[in-house]
Amino acid sequence: MHRRMLLLSGLAMPALAQSWPARPIRIVVPFGLGGSADVAARALGEPLSAALGQPVVIENRPGAGAVIGTDQVAKAPPDGHTLLLMSNTHTANETLLPNRPYRLMRDLAPVAALNIARHALVVHPSVAATTPAELIALLRANPGRFDYASSGPGTPYHIAGEVFLAMAGVQAQHVPFRGSNEARTAVISGQVPIMFDAIPTMREQIAAGRVRGLATTGTTRNVLLPELPALAETLPGYEASIWLGVMAPTGLPAEIAQRLNTEINRWLGLPATRDAMGRGGAEPLPMSIADFTTYLNTDIARQAEWIRMARITA
């Protein structure tokens, strides 16, 4: 009887894959509107819908450092109709939030990587620093008296800030917000003086004089802000980024996962996609499912090392 059930189960998976998708596909974004994950999900939705012949619905479910929306996907049926738009916030949370109700690599299945982007380090114009070295000197002379904003605990911008402080050997207070828009508004208004944020968005604010750009966080200078040095020029070895990917509930049939991976990589390979992502400061990150799985496991270990180095707590 048990063998018969296994055989029937094995036959059911190809049948499910052949009938998929049978209804609209939901992409859950566990972050707020307007952030890089939300923008990427909406950009992906239209070509994925055209390729699969079903509407793709984007649902923002922010809260608890991306845990709320992620847990909803982890508990959804693994039938290919519910996907997660995730980022390296999730790989950081594997160390930072030990009591979350899911485990990333146990309860979710890798589908595809999307893109990677670097950050800009900016300060309010009232801050008496025009270079990274001057900011470090200012923070060293005033330990704990300056604040920096982020889009929330465990987000790539938070990790970028804490690793910067640790490598520079200085102190500043972390002020988390519910999203990048709120944090950015606080910096522009002068309520919080320092922030790591997305390059394309901050490029506009730098050009308008609302903030002062000090550096970018790649290993080399960024083409969107070539006048700014890489922070690694001041802190050798420093690098920070935000990358995005797609996962699904564990148990997703391999045929469906492969179809999604193929369609997403096809979209990432289009010149129009590369151009659009480039304008947004990002680079496509096409990978096979196996390579993305390795990438996730590697980043979980890397984030754990950074979190321990910077002594970040939830």
Q: How far apart are CA 41 and CA 39, in angstroms?
A: 6
Averaged over 4-16, what is the pLDDT?
50
Q: How far apart are CA 121 and CA 117, in angstroms?
A: 14
Instruction: Locate 250 and state its tokens.
Output: 């564990």
Give pLDDT, residue 3: 42
For the chain, the average pLDDT equals 92
Is the predicted pLDDT of residue 143 greater than 70, yes or no?
A: yes
Identify the residue whose tokens are 């959804």. 76
Confidence of residue 13 (pLDDT cuts 50, 70, 90): very low
Domains of the chain in start order, with CATH, are 22-116+242-310 (3.40.190.150), 118-233 (3.40.190.10)
Whether the bond between 284 and the residue before it is cis, its omega within 30 degrees of 0, is no
| 274-308 pLDDT tens trace | 999 998 889 999 999 999 999 999 999 999 999 99
The per-residue b/e assignment along 23-43, b for 16 or more CB within 10 angstroms, e otherwise, is eebbbbbbbbeebbbbbbbeb
Contact yes or no for 106/116 (Cβ under 8 A): no
Contact yes or no for 284/268 (Cβ under 8 A): yes
Averaged over 207-220, what is the pLDDT?
96
